[in-house]
Structure 1
Amino acid sequence: MSEAVAVSRRGSVCEILLNRASVHNAFDEHLIAELTGALRAADADPAVRAVVLTGAGASFSAGADLNWMRSMAAASEADNRADSLKLAQLMSVLNFLGKPTIARVNGAAYGGGVGLIACCDVAIGVESAKFSLSEVKLGLVPAVISPYVIAAIGARAARRLFITGEVFDATEARRIGLLHEAVAPAALDEAVDRCLHWLGKGGPVAQGEAKRLALRMAGMTSESQAAVDADNAALIARLRVSAEGQHGLSAFLDKRAPDWAKES
């Protein structure tokens, strides 16, 4: 692993750290590839009973990296589609991982960071954490992560948060189901360890089947998700190269308000 992701073992627990604290653990193509690889390696290791995903520094993940966004703004629709499919693959791998997963939400999560949380089986975060699905402010939508976020918080809450892009706190995140627990920063590790304690009592085969059962009963399978991912990748690619998407991305990168914000 390079510096983007750090993997460590604590007994039968695989701990995966988003390790780009200087940019609030923002996504770029390297982090996406390395995190996908780390998750697959943990899934294939019979000695791993559970996976804990967390962030370095003060944030869990700020979503898309600015330089990555800049390169995608200049890319073709086909390249944007291919890029979006890689992110979709990451989310699918995490969502359908055969081992129990815990999101240890140590700080703020925006955009794709919210997607990672929604893909985990259990999400425990600090009370001070802030969250946002802010893509509409750029003239975009949270297309790739939408199936997982909607599965976590429901369509009604998602409709509001998708269209407002508002920032919400850990209390609200827990109320709508994005977080299972919101605790004081000093109590975060204790809360994660308590969950790991209970996970350690279950049969690993049964846990994998129980996870697949819950997903299947909710209408989610890895096979059906592949078709959804293709459609959502095409949607975000089309929006990124659209006039509104190009204007929104340019405004964001130039640190100015888009025209529609000035008019509202």
Structure 2
Amino acid sequence: MTLVHTAHDRAVTTLTLDSPANRNALSAALVGELADALTHCGKDSDVRAIVLTHTGNTFSAGADLRDPSHPDALVALLRQLVALPKPVVARVTGHVRAGGLGLLGACDIAAASLEATFAFTEVRIGVAPAVISLPILPRADPRALARYYLTGERFDATEAVRTGLLTTAGDDVDVTLAPVLDGLRRSSPQGLAETKALLTARVLEAFDRDAADLTALSARLFSSAQAREGMTAFLERRDPAWVV
């Protein structure tokens, strides 16, 4: 079953995450298919820009607790999004949780409808938003991240724009994105590639400096006793033992 669908219209390729059974969670299979699709887009001279979107009411629920991708694979995917010499635009009409926010943060432009919601839920299952911090920390407001990283609170699209996790939001995400896509179609491939390189230099520096340490941290936390309790509680739909 194909988990990432591809469509092309006037120099813009849309990649649609389509794994509704697990709310587009970052399984090993989905991460692999998305990486392959991005590689193809990067080599295709007809592709000026990429839109990353989803089916269902969830852009991505984060790590697939039943079939997780290896931290190295997720780091490679996030770096691929950042380093791709073509702009990647996130189009969100539903919920984004945990690792899904890593995908959002790795995109160059991110737009959502106003009904979208967001949460860094890692802390509630005994882990931390480790590898997804690579694209997020250089781009988002540190005070806001401190609150939402530490509490796991849910927040709305307006707040996500304020914090820098989103570029823009509106009632109709396609209306909101129309001038963005028009601008990308009017821009030269060389101009886009060189401008993106300027914008992403600091983010790529974070990957080169911190990826190995954060990958090791993620692996250590996910194998811990508290994470096992947190993930078991999540799957059993109960509070973990530490909730008071």
TM class by shorter chain equals over 0.9
Aligned 8 A contact 2:169 2:176 in 1: no
Q: Does 1:242 align with 2:224?
A: yes
Q: Take 2:169 and 2:115, find their aligned partners in 1: how far apart are those partners?
A: 9
The answer on 1:259 being equivalent to 2:241 is: yes
How many Å separate the matches in 2 of 1:251 and 1:167?
19
Counterpart of 1:209, as a letter, is: E
Q: In the alignment, which residue of structure 2 is the partner of 1:49?
A: 48
Match of 1:27 in 2: 26
TM-score (norm 2): 0.94
SS of equivalent to 1:86: helix
Residue 134 of structure 1 is aligned with which of 121, 124, 128? 121
1:40 is matched with: 39
Q: Secondary structure at the match of 2:176?
A: helix
- Which structure 2 residues correspond to residues 144-159 of structure 1 after superposition, within 5 A? 144-159=131-146
Question: Aligned-pair distance for 1:214?
Answer: 1.7
Say which of 110, 114, 134 aligns to 1:123.
Answer: 110
Name the aligned partner's letter for residue 177 of structure 2. V
Residue by residue over 1:86-105, the C-alpha shift from the partner in whole angstroms, topping out at 9 and shown as x without a partner, is 01111110111110111001
Query: Equivalent of 2:96, from 78, 89, 109?
Result: 109
| Between 11-20 and 145-154, the greater mean CA deviation after superposition | 145-154
Q: Which amino acid is the alignment partner of residue 13 of structure 1?
A: V
Q: Deviations over 1:146-191 (max 9, x none)?
A: 121212313222121111111001111111111111111xx22222
The runs of 4+ residues in structure 1 deviating greater than 6 Å are none
Give the distance between the partners of 1:21 and 1:245, measured in 2 at CA.
25
Q: Report which stretch shifted further, 13-22 or 129-138.
A: 13-22
Question: Among 188, 193, 211, which residue is 2:178 paired with?
Answer: 193
Which segment is superposed worse, 207-216 or 58-67?
58-67
Residue of structure 2 aligned with 1:228, choices 198, 205, 210: 210
Q: Are residue 205 (structure 1) and residue 190 (structure 2) matched? A: yes
Q: TM-score, normalised by structure 1?
A: 0.88
Higher-helix-fraction structure: 1
Query: Measured at CA, do residues 158 and 169 of structure 1 come closer, stay the same or move farther in structure 2, by a change above 3 Å?
Result: same
Quote the Cα distance in structure 2 between the aligned partners of 1:255 and 1:22.
17
d(CA) in 1 for partners of 2:225 and 2:99? 23
CA distance in 2, matches of 1:48, 1:31: 22
Query: Which residue number corresponds to residue 170 of structure 2?
Result: 183
Deviations 1:192-219 (A, max 9, x none): 2221101122221121111111222xx2
Alpha-carbon distance in 2 for matches of 1:154, 1:188:
23
The amino acid of 1:6's aligned partner reads: H
SS of the counterpart of 1:144? Answer: coil
SS in 1 for 2:13: strand
SS in 2 for 1:14: strand
Q: Which amino acid aligns with 2:198?
A: L
Q: Secondary structure at the match of 1:63?
A: coil
Structure 1 residue 257: deviation in Å? 1.0
Which stretch shifts more, 161-170 or 187-196? 187-196
Local SS of the residue matching 1:151:
coil
Q: Which residue of 1 aligns with 2:200?
A: 215
Distance 1:230 1:253 in 2: 29
Contact kept in structure 1, 2:11 and 2:185, CA below 8 Å: no
Aligned residue pairs, count: 244
Contact 1:119 1:148 in 2 (8 A): yes
The structural deviation recorded for 1:227 is 4.4
Residues 149 and 158 of structure 1 are in contact (CA less than 8 Å); yes or no, is this contact kept in structure 2?
no
Query: Residue 51 of structure 1: SS of its match in structure 2?
Result: strand
Task: Tell me the alpha carbon deviations over residues 101-141 of structure 1, each in whole angstroms, 9 at most, x when there is no partner.
Answer: 11001111101111111111111100000100100000000
Identity %, equivalent residues: 38
